[in-house]
A and B are shown apart, each in its own frame.
Chain A
Amino acid sequence: MTDAPNVPVRSRLASSRAWNAVRVGFFIANRQVRANIGTSLLIIVVMVLTYLNLLVVSGVMVGIVQGLRSERLQYYSGDIILTNHREKDSIQNSPDALAYLRALPAIASFSPRYLAEGALEGNYAGKLLLQDEADTIPTNVAGINPVAEDATTGLSRLVIEGRYLQPSDYDQVLIGTSLLARYKTLTGIPGSTPIPNVGVGSKVRILVGGIEHEMTVKGIVASKIQELNLRVFMVDAQLRALLGRTDDGVNEIAIKLAPGADAAAVKGQLALSAINADAKIQLAQESEPVFFQDFATTFNKLGSFLGGIGLAVAFIVIFILVFVNIITRRRSIGILQAIGIRASGIQIGYIAQSVLYAIVGAAIGMLLLFTLIEPYFIAYPIDFPFSNGILTVSFIEAVVKALVLVVAIILASFIPARLILRQEIVDAVLGR
C-alpha cells in the first residue's frame, strides 16, 4: 500500500445518531440526484405536469363561473347596479340619484336604462292574410344612452354585425341573438320561437306600451349573458316617447367604478345616501341570478372532485416513480445498511430526493402557471356556450396545492422506502 497521511477518525458515539442519519440522507440524496440528471429531469417534468393537473383542471372549472361573472359585471351590471324597488315602476327621484352619482369621484361612469316589456315582430310585410301567423317573440326593450352605456359596459364591443347605436339613431334598434333564428344560442324564451330571416337592415316592429312602431335593425348583440341576448336596445328618448313617460324615472343604473375604488365601500356610501330609499343597491355579485351561485357551487364541487382525482393520480404516479427508483437500488440499500447506515438515514435520502423533485416541479409549475398559462387563458378564453372560461387560480391556492403535492410525495416515498428497508439485510446484499 502507498504511504499516506494517517488521519485519525474518532468515533463520535456521543453525537446524535439521528442528526448523522439526516446528514447521510441528504448526502445520499445529493449524490443520487447529481448522478442521475436525466432521470431527475424526467421526474421533475412529471412533477410539473402533475402539479399543473392539480391546479389547471379545477382552475378551469372555477374559471368558467368566474368568466361568466366577469362578463356579466363588465357588459351588464357594472361594479354596482341600482334597480327600482319591486313595488315601484322606476327608481324614485332618479334625477337626484343621477346627480348624486355624477358627483362621486369613485364612479368612473354610469348608464341609466329605461326598461319595458314588449314584443318584437319580423317578416310582417309578406303576411297579408288573417290566418297568417305573425313572427313575434316577447322581449325586454332597453332604452339606453348609447354613449353612457358604452362608457360603462362597452356594449358596442358586443355588436357582432352591423353597427352600434348613436344618440341620434331614432327608429333603429340593436337586437340580441337569442331573439333571432339565424343565431344559435344556448337559451331562448320558453314557448317562443326566434324570428327567422331578420338581420341587420331588416325592418321590425317593436310593440311596447301598447304602441307598435316600425324600426330598422342596426346591429346584432351577442353575449354570454343571456339577459343581454334577450333584449332589444334603442335610444332612451325614443323608448320614453313610445311609452309616453313624462317622468324621469329610470329602471336600472349600471355603475362602473374608477380604477382602485372599493365597490363595497361605494355601496356603503350609496346606502347612506337618499338613494337607499329610492333604489335597490347591489354589488355585481349580489345582483346575479340565483342559478349563478348554484352554478358556482356545482363547478367548485366538480373542480374539487377532479382536483381530488388529480391528487390521487399524482400520488400513484409519484409512488410508482419512487418505488421503481428504490427497487432498482435494493442492493445498494442493503449494502448501506450493512456498513452501518441507519434505515432512517436511507429513508431520509429517498424522501429528500422526492421532496426536492416536488419542490422544483411545483416551483416550475407555478412559474409556468402565472407567467404563461394564466395570461394565455385571459388573452384567449375558452369559448364555452355560456361563458368565456378563464383559468382562475389564486396564489394561495397554488401554494396550498404545492404543499399538498409535497405531503403526498413524502407519503409516496415513505411507503416504498419503508417496505424495502424492512427486508433482511443479507437478502438485499446478496440480491435474493
Chain B
Amino acid sequence: MIAEVGHAALWVAAALALAQLIFAAAAFTMRGAALADAVRPVAIVQGLAAVCAFAMLAWLFSRTDLSVLLVALNSHVDKPWLYKIAGTWGNHEGSMLLWVAVLGAAGAAYALLERQLAARTTIATLGAQAAIALGFYAFLLIASNPFTRLNPPAATGLGLNPILQDPGLAFHPPTLYLGYVGLSIAFSIAVGALVTRDVGPDLAKAMRPWVLGAWVLLTLGITAGSYWAYYELGWGGWWFWDPVENASLMPWLAATALLHSISVLAARGALRAWTVMLAVLAFSMSMVGTFLVRSGILTSVHAFAVDPARGSFILALLVIYIGGALALFGWRVGTVRQGATFTAWSREGSLVLNNLLLTAILGIVLVGTLYPLAIEALGLERVSVGPPYFNAATAPLALALMVAMVAGPLIRWRRDDWRETLAKLRLPAGLAVLVAAVVWIAAGWIGLLPLLGLAIAAAVAAGSVAPLWGRNLRRTPLFTWGMVVSHLGVAVSVAGMASESAFTQEVLVAARAGEVHEVGPFRVRFVGIEPISGPNFTALQAVLYAGRRGGAVHELKPQARSFWNPPTETREAALLTSGGGQLYAVLGRQESRGRWQLRLWWKPWVTLIWGGGALIAAGAALSILGRVTRRRRRADRTAYA
C-alpha cells in the first residue's frame, strides 16, 4: 500500500507540474491572465506531492519491504537502521527521486517566499521550474520507477555496496543534491527574466539567497565527500580528480563565479548578461554532473548504474533544458540593457577577473573530464586523464585567483587608484614573502607549488581580514563578516593542501607483532592482529599503539573488512589527529611468515583542508543570515514609517 501511495503521489506531482507549466504560459495571454494567481499554490502542492513520494520510499526502505524490487535489490534485513534509510538514495531510482523531491520542494519554497521580483517574472520563473520538474518526473515514471513491486517478495535482499555503508554516505549525496537543485531556482529565474526581458539588479537580489544556500550545501558536500574518500578508500589522498568528484566541483566553480557576479549586479547593476549566463551554466553543470554519474558513460570508482536507455532519456532532457536556455539566451540577451560602467581597476574589475579565472578552471576540469570520451568517440585510442594534468593546469590559475582574492576586497567600486591599492597590499605581500622565507629556511626546498601555496595562503589570510581594518566590528554588517570568514577559509584550506603535499611522510612496512616502526614524529608499535565481527561483516583488525616520542600513547585499529552481502572487501583506515595533522594507518595484505603489510602516513596540518572548507561554508551561511536580517529590518522600518 505504501508503494502505491508513493507511486500515486509521483503521478499527482507530474500532473500538477504540467498544470503549473500550462497556467504559467496561459498567464501571458490575454484570456488566461486570471490563471496567474493559481501558479503559486499549484507549485506548493506539487512540491508537497514530490516530497510525499520520497517519504513513502524512505518508509519502505526503513521497513525493508522486500516486495518492492528496489528495496530487495539494494537493502538487506541485516543492515543497520541508518544504512537502511541511507539506502533510499544509495541507488539510481531512489537518488533520482530524491533529486526531484528536492526540486519540487525548492519550487514550492520559491513560490512561498519570493517577494523581490516583478509578478510576471515570478510567474515565468515558476513556469520554467515546472518544465524542469515535469521532465524529471517523466523520467522516473517511464524509465526508472522506484515503486515497482516484486512478486513473489525476496527473502533477504541483496544488500548495499559496503563502501557506501558509512555515516558519510548517509548525508553526503542529499547535501550535494540540495545544492545542485538549489541552483535550479537561479536557472529558472534567469530563464524567467529572459522571457519577460526583465534583467536587472532585482534579479540578482532574488537569486542571491538561493545561490548562497546552494553554495553552502555544495561546499559542505564536497568537503565531506573529500574527507570520506580520504578515510574510506584507504589511499591516503583527499582529491582524486575522479569524474564524479569533478561532477560536483564544476557546479561549485560555476556557482562561486555566479555568487561574485551577483554581488556586482546587485550593488552596481553591471554584468547583467554575464550573470544570466552563469546562472544558466551553474545548474546546467549540476544536471550534466548528475547525468555523468548516473549514465555510467564515464567509468569511475563511483560507477553505480550503467544503462544506455536511461542515459539517452536524461541526455534528451539535458538537450531540451540546457539547449533551450542557451538558445533563449542567444535570442534575447541582445535586449538586455547595458548596466553601469566601471574602469578596469575597480572592485567590479577584480570580480570580473575572479569570474574569468573561475570559468577558465571550470573549462579545464570539463575538458579533462570529457577528453577520454571525445578521444574514444573519434575512435582514436583509449586514454585516461589523471591528476598530473589537472594539478598542472588548474594550480597556476588557482594561485592567480587567490592573488585577485587578496586585492579585490581592498579596491573601491567603480574606480580606484592602483597606487593606493598597492600600498594596501604591502602587508599581505610582506607576510607572503616572510612565510616563504621562513619555510624555505626551516624545511628546505619543498617544491614551487607548495611553497607558493603556503605564501599566498598567508597573503589571503591577511587580505581577508583587511576589510575589517579600521571598522567598528559591532557595526560591520554580517555579510561583510561572511566574506571575511569565507576568504579566510580558502586561506586555511590552501595552507592545508600545500602542507599536505609538501610535508607528508609515508612508510610501507611488513610488520611482525611486537615491532616498532617510525613515521614522522611518531613511534608506532604493532601489537597484533585480531578478528572481529560487525553487524554485517567480519574483519581483521590490527592493533597499533602510536604516540609521539615521549608523548601519550593512543590505540589505533585499522581494519580489513569482509562483507558477505554482497561479498566485498574494504579497508578502513585508522586516524590519529594530533596538532592539526593526522597519522593515517592502513592494514594491507598478509605477507608470508606472520608479517603484515602496514602503510603509515604522517600528514601535518592535513585537517586544515576540511576545516577551511567548513569555514568557507560558515562564511556563506553568515552572509545569508546578514541578508535576511537586513531585509527584515528594512521591512519593519517601512511598516512603522
Does B associate with A? no
